[in-house]
Amino acid sequence: MQKEIIVASSLCVRFNNQTVLDDVSFKVHEGEVFALLGGNGAGKSTTLKTFLGTVLPVSGNASILDMSVTDEIDSIRRKVAYLPESVTLYGHLSGIENIEYFLSLAQITCSTKAIEEALKRVALQENAWHRAMSNYSKGMRQKVAIALALLRNAPVLFLDEPTSGLDPNAIDEFNQLIATLAAEGTTVFMVTHDVYGACQIAHRIGLLDNGKIVGMFERGESSHIDTESVHSAFSARNKR
Amino acid sequence: MKFFSNITREARFLFKQKYLVGILTAVFALSLFSVWSGLSEMQTQSSTIERLKEKDRVDRENVLAKQSGYGSAAYYAFHLTYSEPSNLAFAAIGQRDVFPWKHRIRMLAIEGQIYETDADNPELSFLGRFDFAFLVSVLLPLFVILLLHDLRSSEREAGRYDLLITTAVKQKYLWLTRAFVLSASLALVLLVPFVIGAVISNASFVGTSLIVLVVFAHIVFWTLLIVWYTSNKMALKQNSTQVASALLSVWLMVSVLIPATTDVAIDKMVTSPNGGDILLVQREAVNDAWDLPDSVTWDAFLATHPQWKNYTDMGLTFEWKWYYAFQQVGDQKASELSEKYRQATLEKDTLASRLALLSPPMLTQRLMSSLAETDTQAAMQYEQNIRAYHNSLRHFYYPLMFTRAEFSLDKMSELPDFSQFSKK
């Protein structure tokens, strides 16, 4: 029985008396890649923010590694790495300086060699390492943020639309990296509206619509989730 | 240790941002200018006093050499009085722009002589001088706002906020450390020129430290206000412009509206005669004396100086002792008004001290002026020093005039010296 790392139990979130998440429940196991799929306004980002502790649920519970986000958010943040949709690090610092700064915020000491190893692993070209990040492309910024997540050595990784705006090669590299991390035991939770991407990378997909989980898809014995069935369910919801 | 490593990290991070270095350099330049300008002004005032002291001595010696009696000697001899700037006055010029700091007086009625001089430059007094106290009390809050208003909002606008707070072990410490580094840097660039100025001016360690403490307290007030405001729920939804506008409104209220309103309110609450009224009453009393019978002057004079009741004989139509007696009577008639003026000024000052609690910039300026001895109390003290000195002149001349002593230049060398009455 695999360990439950991320658990949502009857999560309800309201903004200005409007229900954004309604009785959302799911579990993500150790080493699993879980994708929460949904259209605009479905509640994906709110679910993610609830686990990051920036949005508080009105009822229900969200926990990571058996720690409740409402009570132990500081302890949770030491175990979690977050990759935002649009990675904007500090433009006046280089890639290496940004990583050093954010690691220092997380109170993690890392040698320059380890940082360089991580940048090699995410395939960021070496001549960019010491350049100011204001000159980086979106894909390059994404790679720095992934390197940061790797160096944090966090057992749980939260990804917000991770492949949005990346070129096909970068998406392939990214998917391979996530698969490797999951194989090494990292639990990955991602929110996306990219049906194809989610099917390629995730072990399980939760379909979110109007604040409710309306479907759950699994890989089973296959190497990836059947894109057709997920797409049909997703389109049917979006056409309503 | 974590505290220091956090400070080092944020300092390294922040000082790589050119615009921050630019702002801090500008504040350093302004501080340097304000200190230099204060030191120059105080140097000018000190050297003016020294130059006038020498000219005053030479002028008096020349005048006295031509005299044959104490009455005319007292009439023609001028005496320089002055209020020397304290060693910290360069930092807060304060009331030295409003109240005169030098007078040349004679043995004539004193009240009119005190109030006939106006400030050297009334337009400048109205606008306020750009000194270190002005920089600290009025402009400093603007720099704190400029540096700290977008502490969180700039990160939100750049899309880094969530990443930052999910990465930082304690997000509260991140904002506090950044605010601390920025405020401490601001304090440093402000205070370095001031401390150099204090050393050049030979100011006391205690006085210098107290002004440093006042500057720190003012920075801490604005830093805490901004940190508190930017962390409340309402501000978390505002963009940087909205946050800056809200904070600038607070600055406008406490730096401009409250001081201006309290100024008007105090003027309404405390009625005060003006210097011109005192001058008029005293001059009318003196001028009237020429037309009144001598006995009117003598009765009024002897009421306060009974020791001279046997010396009021008038051998000639004009006697110097009678002339100085009606000058004295002129002062006596103006004394009630003069006392009211002093009391009203001090009452206004006390009220302003209390109302300054509503305005940290006003409070800062008042504390700095008080420490630099350039406040209203110091100006009033100078006026009292002039009166005490003038009184000593009367004590010197009256026995000589009333007893019709023979004029001697040697005796004139015993004239009281104002330096014994001046309080540095």
**pLDDT tens digits along B410-421:** 999 999 999 888
Is B170 in Cβ contact with A74 (below 8 Å)?
yes
What was the ipTM of the complex prediction?
Answer: 0.83
Look up residue B308 and give its amino acid.
Answer: W
- Residue A10 in this model has a pLDDT that exceeds 90: yes
- Residue A5 in this model has a pLDDT that exceeds 90: yes
* Residue B292 CB neighbours (<10 A): 13
Is B168 in Cβ contact with A92 (below 8 Å)?
no
Whether residue A99 is contained in a domain is answered as no
Whether residue A135 is contained in a domain is answered as no
Of A77, A86, A97, the CB nearest to B169: A77
Q: Which two tokens stand for residue B388?
A: 């005490």
- Residue A221 in this model has a pLDDT that exceeds 90: no
Residues of B in contact with A158 (CB under 8 A): 166
- Residue B25 in this model has a pLDDT that exceeds 60: yes
**Mean pLDDT for the stretch of residues B110-127:** 60
Residues of A in contact with B233 (CB under 8 A): none
- Nearest residue to A115 via CA among A104, B365, B336, B9: A104
Look up residue A101 and give its amino acid.
Answer: Y
Whether residue A17 is contained in a domain is answered as yes
Letter string b/e over residues B40-75, b meaning 16 or more CB atoms within 10 A of that residue's CB: ebbeebeeebeeeeeebeebbeeebeebeebbebbb
pLDDT of residue B423: 62
How far is the CA of B342 from the CAs of A169, B72, B103, B144, B355, in angstroms? 85, 32, 18, 39, 20
B118 backbone dihedrals φ, ψ, rounded to 5°: -105, 180
Per-residue pLDDT tens for B62-89? 999 998 899 999 999 999 999 999 999 9
- Residue B311 in this model has a pLDDT that exceeds 60: yes
- Residue B286 in this model has a pLDDT that exceeds 80: yes
Percent of chain B with pLDDT over 70: 96
Per-residue pLDDT tens for A88-106? 899 999 999 999 999 999 8
- Nearest residue to A160 via CA among A86, A96, A60, A54: A86
Question: For chain A, what is the domain count?
Answer: 1
**Mean pLDDT for the stretch of residues B337-349:** 92
Look up residue B99 and give its amino acid.
Answer: F
Residues of B in contact with A77 (CB under 8 A): 165-169
Q: Which two tokens stand for residue A197?
A: 């991407």
- Residue B142 in this model has a pLDDT that exceeds 60: yes
Whether residue A41 is contained in a domain is answered as yes
Whether residue A101 is contained in a domain is answered as no
- More confidently predicted of A161 and A187: A187
B12 to chain A: closest CA residue: A101
Q: How far is A227 from chain B (nearest CA, A)?
A: 31
pLDDT of residue B119: 39
Per-residue pLDDT tens for B376-400? 899 999 999 999 999 999 999 999 9
A205 backbone dihedrals φ, ψ, rounded to 5°: -125, 130
Is A54 in Cβ contact with B169 (below 8 Å)?
no
Decide if A165 touches B, using CB distance below 8 A: no
pLDDT classification of B122: cutoffs 50, 70, 90: very low
Percent of chain A with pLDDT over 70: 98
- Residue B407 in this model has a pLDDT that exceeds 70: yes
**Mean pLDDT for the stretch of residues B261-270:** 92
**Mean pLDDT for the stretch of residues B150-167:** 89
Letter string b/e over residues B103-139, b meaning 16 or more CB atoms within 10 A of that residue's CB: bebbbbbbbbbbbeeebeeeeebeeebbbbbbbbbbb
Decide if A106 touches B, using CB distance below 8 A: yes
Calculate the CA dihedral of residues B105, B110, B113, B115 and round it to 10 degrees. 140
Q: How far is B181 from chain A (nearest CA, A)?
A: 15
- Nearest residue to B361 via CA among B264, B261, B252: B252
pLDDT of residue B120: 44
Percent of chain B with pLDDT over 90: 65
pLDDT of residue B241: 94
State the CATH number of the domain containing residue A41: 3.40.50.300
Q: How far is A91 from chain B (nearest CA, A)?
A: 10
How far is the CA of A123 from the CAs of A117, A129, A160, A165, B213, in angstroms? 10, 11, 20, 17, 53
pLDDT of residue B398: 93
Residues of B in contact with A78 (CB under 8 A): 169
Decide if A82 touches B, using CB distance below 8 A: yes
B89 backbone dihedrals φ, ψ, rounded to 5°: -60, -25
Give residues 16 to 45 of A whose Cβ lies within 8 Å of B. none
**Residues of chain B in Cβ contact (below 8 Å) with chain A:** 2, 5, 9, 13, 16-18, 158-160, 162-170, 174
Residues of B in contact with A93 (CB under 8 A): 13, 16
Percent of chain A with pLDDT over 90: 42
Between CA B385 and CA B82 the distance in angstroms is 9
Is A74 in Cβ contact with B160 (below 8 Å)?
no
> Rounded mean pLDDT of chain B?
90
Per residue, what are the HEC states of chain B?
CHHHHHHHHHHHHHCCCHHHHHHHHHHHHHHHHHHHHHHHHHHHHHHHHHHHHHHHHHHHHHHHHCCCCHHHHHHHCCEEEECCCCCCCCCCCHHHHCCCCEEEECCCCHHHHHHCCCCCCHHHHHHCCCCHHHHHHHHHHHHHHHHHCCCCHHHHHHCCHHHHHHHCCCHHHHHHHHHHHHHHHHHHHHHHHHHHHHHHCCCCHHHHHHHHHHHHHHHHHHHHHHHHHHHCHHHHCCCHHHHHHHHHHHHHHHHHHHHHHHHHHHHHHCCCCCHHHHHHHHHHHHHHHHHCCHHHHHHHHHHHCHHHHHHCCCCCCCCHHHHHHHHHHHHHHHHHHHHHHHHHHHHHHHHHHHHHHHCHHHHHHHHHHHHCCCCHHHHHHHHHHHHHHHHHHHHHHHHHHHCCCCCCHHHHCCCCCHHHCCCC
pLDDT of residue B114: 84
Give residues 200 to 239 of A whose Cβ lies within 8 Å of B. none
Is B167 in Cβ contact with A105 (below 8 Å)?
yes
Residues of B in contact with A154 (CB under 8 A): none
CA gyration radius, chain A: 18
Give the bridge partners for A9, in sequence order: A61
From A22-26, A154-158, B123-127, B241-245, the region with the lowest mean pLDDT: B123-127
- Strand A67-68 with A212-218, pairing: unpaired
A53 to chain B: closest CA residue: B166
Whether residue A162 is contained in a domain is answered as yes
Per-residue pLDDT tens for B172-200? 888 999 999 999 999 999 999 999 999 99
Is B163 in Cβ contact with A87 (below 8 Å)?
yes
Give the bridge partners for A64, in sequence order: A6, A67
pLDDT of residue A175: 86
Place of tokens 């019978």: B293
- Residue B159 in this model has a pLDDT that exceeds 70: yes
pLDDT of residue A239: 61
Q: Which two tokens stand for residue B89?
A: 């006055």
- Residue B424 in this model has a pLDDT that exceeds 60: no
Between CA B354 and CA B360 the distance in angstroms is 11
Letter string b/e over residues B240-260, b meaning 16 or more CB atoms within 10 A of that residue's CB: beebbebbeeebeebbeebbe
Q: How far is B21 from chain A (nearest CA, A)?
A: 13
Q: How far is B144 from chain A (nearest CA, A)?
A: 22
Strand (E) or helix (H) holding A110: none
Between CA B217 and CA B198 the distance in angstroms is 19
Per-residue pLDDT tens for A35-71? 998 888 889 989 999 999 888 899 999 999 999 998 8
Is A82 in Cβ contact with B166 (below 8 Å)?
yes
- Residue B123 in this model has a pLDDT that exceeds 70: no
CA gyration radius, chain B: 29
- Nearest residue to B210 via CA among A193, B173, A217, B218: B218
Whether residue A111 is contained in a domain is answered as no
Q: How far is A12 from chain B (nearest CA, A)?
A: 21
Is B169 in Cβ contact with A105 (below 8 Å)?
yes
Residues of B in contact with A107 (CB under 8 A): 2, 169
Parent domain of A162: 4-86+155-239
pLDDT of residue B121: 46
Whether residue A50 is contained in a domain is answered as yes
Could you tell me if A199 and A192 are in contact, meaning their C-beta atoms sit under 8 angstroms apart?
no
- Nearest residue to B187 via CA among B230, B244, B225, B147: B147
Chain center to CA of B108: 28
Could you tell me if B234 and B387 are in contact, meaning their C-beta atoms sit under 8 angstroms apart?
no
Residues of A in contact with B168 (CB under 8 A): 77, 105-106
10 Å CB burial of residue B308 (0-12, 13-18, 19+) is middle
